[in-house]
């Protein structure tokens, strides 16, 4: 039995004009807790301006390979026809457009209004297709919990001063310390090495 | 006795008490590192413990500066004092208990820090006002985190409710000590350096009581323990034993 809390995808925006990027997941009992957890897990280092979280199970995820499948193409074609203007919902569209290392994020690209997730995907394919899209994510806007505007100062800004949370901070310290320790270790091991040689003779 | 205390001494004592509250709370929080109910909370609480430790450091450093002490002063205060020399409230030294106990205490202290900092930001003492502004922005996040937990545990299952109520029963008698005026501190209030504890307590209750009531938690009918901040439970000895163990093995060691 899965005793974990539901999984939420986390999207981080580094600066006001940057796209929201999927940075990973958190487990949480609900959206508000997921947002708090996301802040601690993904926003504790510098460069976070805003966060979104969305329950993983609410997101329609389709790969480029799956889009080539005739059955799936058929379903999308059917969904496109099922337009019902009274039941339109807002959907967020996300794409992964690169396989290059460090650029594999699933980014927010825009929104569509549709009657179902599949219909949203059909519209997104019309509107946001580009040379290479490896993965499409479609998420109903209403399930996305966002950090409130104005919390940056309390939620994210303090991380800027906390350089001790960054790997590089310890890299510098340990390299210097390591050299010092190596020196000490060498000095200490020299007489011992001699003793060993004598014994081996 | 009061007549022999001058304002500088009183201010130093107040700073020490304020810093000690944070340091001991940080240590109790840090005891969950590696043991929290889920990974995300482990990271969150370790993070918060680090923040509280940072707040303690800001106050210890100001004390060091005001007393023209050497740079190792905060370390000496933390690693070389016996239990009876600490000035934290007893609430923060109580063992970490279960998750409900830790979250409720953190909530009470976050609410306390939130109202205290919003007053101290306007302190007539510029150094204190500057530090308070810095701490306050972080406390807004801490408050959001711990209040979310208190609400969910209180309104969760029967078990989580009972655990939260038990934590409240145990902690409530210790709350009064947060708002007790130490000998001579009235002069700091008059000088506009620190807020009037009665106002502080009122602000605190305005935040806390509605949340406890939302969670249908009953305030226990108990009298407050108005003890001096120099008095401690044996729990503090045990905590310091842990905290100072490595330092005491080799006080001269260079880290």
For residue A27, list its beta bridge partners. Answer: A7
* Number of other residues whose CB lies within 10 A of the CB of residue A8: 30
Question: pLDDT-derived band of residue A162, with 50, 70 and 90 as boundaries?
Answer: confident
User: For residue B175, what pLDDT is reported?
Assistant: 95
Q: What is the mean pLDDT of each run of 10 residues along chain B (255 residues)?
A: 70 97 98 94 94 96 96 94 97 98 98 98 97 93 96 96 98 94 93 96 97 96 80 96 93 77
Q: How far is A56 from chain B (nearest CA, A)?
A: 16
User: For residue B5, what pLDDT is reported?
Assistant: 62
Q: B148 φ, ψ to 5°? A: -60, -40
DSSP 8-class letter at A156: T
User: For residue A103, what pLDDT is reported?
Assistant: 67
User: For residue A201, what pLDDT is reported?
Assistant: 39
Q: B214 φ, ψ to 5°? A: -60, -40
Residue B71 to residues A189, B133, B167: CA-CA distances in angstroms?
A: 34, 24, 39
Q: In chain A, which residue's Cα lies nearest the Cα of B46?
A: A40
pLDDT at A198 over 50: no
Mutate to test the interface with A, among B40, B48, B150 (most CBs of A within 10 A): B40
pLDDT at A180 over 90: no
Residues 6+ apart with CB under 8 A from B161: B153, B154, B155, B215, B216
User: For residue A193, what pLDDT is reported?
Assistant: 45
For residue B181, list its beta bridge partners. Answer: none
ipTM score assigned to the predicted complex: 0.85
* Number of other residues whose CB lies within 10 A of the CB of residue B36: 17
Residue A141 to residues A7, A146, B146: CA-CA distances in angstroms?
A: 17, 10, 27
CB spacing of A154 vs B137 below 8 angstroms: yes
Of A32, A40, A158, the CB nearest to B40: A40
**pLDDT tens digits for A70-92?**
999 999 999 988 766 668 999 99
pLDDT at A48 over 60: yes
Across all residues in chain A, what is the average pLDDT? 85
Query: Which among B79, B122, B108, B53 is positioned nearest to B244, based on CA atoms?
Result: B79
* Distance (Å, whole) CA A82 – CA A179: 69
* Distance (Å, whole) CA A26 – CA B80: 41
* Distance (Å, whole) CA A11 – CA B143: 23
**pLDDT tens digits for A91-136?**
999 999 988 876 678 999 999 999 999 999 999 999 999 889 999 9
User: Would you say B78 and B10 are in contact if contact means Cβ atoms under 8 Å apart?
Assistant: no
User: For residue B221, what pLDDT is reported?
Assistant: 87
């Amino acid at each position: 039995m899965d005793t974990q809390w539901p999984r939420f995808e986390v999207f981080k925006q580094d600066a006001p004009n940057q796209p929201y990027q999927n940075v990973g997941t958190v487990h949480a009992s609900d959206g508000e807790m997921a947002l708090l957890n996301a802040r601690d897990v993904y926003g504790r280092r510098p460069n976070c301006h805003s966060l979104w979280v969305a329950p993983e199970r609410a997101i329609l995820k389709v790969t480029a390979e799956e889009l080539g499948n005739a059955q799936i193409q058929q379903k999308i074609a059917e969904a496109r026809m099922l337009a019902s203007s009274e039941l339109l919902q807002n959907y967020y569209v996300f794409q992964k457009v690169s396989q290059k290392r460090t650029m594999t994020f699933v980014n927010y690209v825009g929104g569509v209004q549709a009657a179902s997730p599949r219909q949203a995907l059909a519209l997104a394919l019309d509107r946001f297709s580009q040379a290479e899209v490896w993965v499409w994510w479609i998420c109903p806007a209403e399930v996305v919990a966002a950090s409130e505007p104005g919390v940056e100062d309390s939620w994210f800004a303090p991380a800027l001063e906390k350089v001790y949370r960054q790997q590089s901070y310890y890299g510098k310290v340990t390299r210097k310390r390591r050299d010092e320790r190596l020196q000490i270790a060498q000095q200490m091991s020299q007489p011992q090495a001699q003793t060993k040689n004598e014994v081996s003779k | 006795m009061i007549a022999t205390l001058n304002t500088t001494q009183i201010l130093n004592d107040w700073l020490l008490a304020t810093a000690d509250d944070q340091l001991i709370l940080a240590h109790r929080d840090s005891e969950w590192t590696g043991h929290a109910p889920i990974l995300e909370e482990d990271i969150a609480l370790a993070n918060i413990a680090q923040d509280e430790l940072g707040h303690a450091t800001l106050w210890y450093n100001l004390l060091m500066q005001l007393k023209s002490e050497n740079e190792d002063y905060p370390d000496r205060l933390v690693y070389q004092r016996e239990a009876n020399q600490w000035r934290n409230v007893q609430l923060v030294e109580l063992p970490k208990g279960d998750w409900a106990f830790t979250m409720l205490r953190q909530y009470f202290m976050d609410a306390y820090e939130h109202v205290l900092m919003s007053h101290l930001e306007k302190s007539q003492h510029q150094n204190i006002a500057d530090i308070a502004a810095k701490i306050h922005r972080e406390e807004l996040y801490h408050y959001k985190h711990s209040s979310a937990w208190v609400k969910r545990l209180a309104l969760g299952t029967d078990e989580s409710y009972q655990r939260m109520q038990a934590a409240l029963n145990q902690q409530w008698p210790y709350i009064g000590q947060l708002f007790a005026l130490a000998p001579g501190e009235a002069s700091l209030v008059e000088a506009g350096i620190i807020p009037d504890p009665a106002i502080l307590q009122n602000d605190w209750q305005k935040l806390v009581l509605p949340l406890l009531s939302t969670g249908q938690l009953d305030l226990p009918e108990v009298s407050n323990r108005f003890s001096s901040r120099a008095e401690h439970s044996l729990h503090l000895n045990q905590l310091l034993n842990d905290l100072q163990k490595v330092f005491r093995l080799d006080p001269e060691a260079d880290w």
